[in-house]
Structure 1
């Protein structure tokens, strides 16, 4: 069942003080205001100035004015994220944003260990639909986690059960204005097309879709946790770097699982489905010492060196 901001925050227990990532849009404004009301004097804010559009300076001024009014300390960081070959601009911007948030927290308030982000129920549905459209596996279908650790910090999404419309309605009752990002209406982006065209149709055909989709994402996340445990156990058996002979003793699905895990955990890269299938075929063909292996995998290459597989960046 859809929650109100107050209900969502009742189940949120961050370490105090904590930081809210604040863009100036409706979602982060609702999160910042609700958190400041629930934990007065314990909230800090970080605004990321991307410089991607002319309105970015206006966003910053709006955020500074509201934080000054609410007596919430604000740090601003400017980022210019360039995407690497094979990386989407959105992914590059997201990574740059997380790095800038972590840097701001560690520099301005080193005692803070928790950061709250404002993604909500509609964002979760959009993420799931995008994953389905790309043929994603369980990690993609699990969508966005409510809590995780990264860069030495605890990250939280306390509003994942709150629809975006509810956040805007709540802000209106509070008499609080927000900034509308002009890029939110640009249908060039898949997420915006889903928001404008797909979600209204789902609401009419399947009124409870936010709850049921969230439940499916939760099931996928739980199943992925089990697979991660299996992959960790298999990686301990085949070693790091992976020994080819030990890898060949596993079934092909478990080889795929442990290789994805190795590449993600050890090298922060993810193979495409085609790359992984080719790697598995080459592993199966490694029956002689002279068999060479050198394949493009993720953002680098996997090669055979003696009895093991090694990965190196492009």
Structure 2
């Protein structure tokens, strides 16, 4: 009840129309958060516009604001899964912090989900079924109708005189879930009348086992999820390799699942987890990487790093660093410049130009021979994936600073004079 808003996922079908009517009536009986509806227009069916119009009329009658979101469904592979991914992405984008999304999944949906996952060889968490409530985006997803059968919802809908849409796909047995609903499950129920109770009991057992596995993973994470002490790296999710590799293979996979879920990464399948483990065991000089649904896993030095894929383009842009305040680098955090005792000398009218590595850069630090920037980064154990993004400061065409961490001797303030301190904070989300 403390949510800033309730969003109701409205397809226009029986289940969501029942939920819309229930929530509309609830507003008359009690003080609930502001109610909104969201309809996702997939554009996959000739009647999609008519379905959106039906939802609009239903919401108008009840005084519920409706947002229609048009999405692009990725072609190739399963249309059902691609549409679901697009739909949930739209839901997540809509939720403000703490807001609640209400979906009308019912008991029959839960049973179908369990059977579908069982046939696909899902793990323990998958056999737990759809949770009644879970995090989604900045808010929460709730399923208040999970204890109700579809037949019960239909009887109530007819009693209330509700109109709803019948999606032809729900009768098309070319879709795996539809075939399961109309042909496979009825046959199994005929042979095993206790099937529904058994599946729900299986989900309860799997949920309990999943909770125990999560507890074990949390204990293991205490040993391996220590943040890096390097200021450039402290904000990036990482795992220490040595304690991770000391675990059994099964515990490694359990820990990785838990960790990736915490980082909001779509769960990899068993094959991908095995590939991650193979990369972890690669030779000490190897720096393997693996793409995972919008992220990249990197093994570098003594850690496994998780980096958003969009953060990794080649850096080539140039800009001028102001002598006071912060410069927002394109997709690369901020470079901050503050006046104070010591530090870099005033660069004069030309200012400092911010560039990125092209290869072969060298710098002469105080009390040290001239070194390559590559060598400095390697000595500091900066991972290879971060090195192309380290900003370099130039003055008069000469390299004077590597992101404020290493400054050229010739560019330093002499004695106790006033200069400028530069620091870089890379993007880590």
Q: Structure 2-normalised TM-score?
A: 0.62
**CA apart distance, 1:35:** 2.2
Deviates more, 1:14-23 or 1:252-261: 14-23
Which of 119, 128, 147 does residue 114 from structure 2 map onto?
A: 128
Residue of structure 1 in register with 2:24 after alignment: 36
**CA apart distance, 1:180:** 0.3
Partners of 2:271 and 2:215 in 1: how far apart? 24
Residue of structure 2 in register with 1:221 after alignment: 207
Matched, 1:310 2:318: no
Matched, 1:18 2:12: no
Which of 234, 237, 244 does residue 241 from structure 2 map onto?
A: 244
Residue of structure 2 in register with 1:181 after alignment: 167
SS in 1 for 2:21: helix
Partners of 1:14 and 1:71 in 2: how far apart? 22
Partners of 2:136 and 2:169 in 1: how far apart? 28
Unaligned runs of 5+ in 1: 1-12
Q: CA RMSD in A?
A: 2.8
Partners of 1:222 and 1:293 in 2: how far apart? 38
Deviations 1:170-209 (A, max 9, x none): 2112221211011111222111110111222233233343
User: Which structure shows the bigger proportion of residues in strand conformation?
Assistant: 2
**CA apart distance, 1:310:** 3.1
**CA apart distance, 1:75:** 2.2
Residue of structure 2 in register with 1:289 after alignment: 284
Partners of 2:93 and 2:299 in 1: how far apart? 38
Q: CA 1:207–1:159 in 2, change beyond 3 Å: closer, same or farther?
A: farther
CA contact (8 A) 1:28 1:118 kept: yes
Q: CA 1:269–1:143 in 2, change beyond 3 Å: closer, same or farther?
A: same
Partners of 2:303 and 2:5 in 1: how far apart? 47
**CA apart distance, 1:230:** 1.7
How many corresponding residue pairs?
293
Which of 218, 233, 238 does residue 232 from structure 1 map onto?
A: 218
Matched, 1:147 2:133: yes
SS in 2 for 1:304: strand
User: Which structure shows the bigger proportion of residues in helix conformation?
Assistant: 1
Residue of structure 2 in register with 1:4 after alignment: none
SS in 2 for 1:47: strand
- Higher relative contact order, chain-length normalized (CA < 8 Å, sep 6+): 1
**CA apart distance, 1:29:** 0.8
Q: CA 1:73–1:272 in 2, change beyond 3 Å: closer, same or farther?
A: closer
Residue of structure 2 in register with 1:101 after alignment: 91
Residue of structure 2 in register with 1:55 after alignment: 47
Partners of 1:68 and 1:152 in 2: how far apart? 27
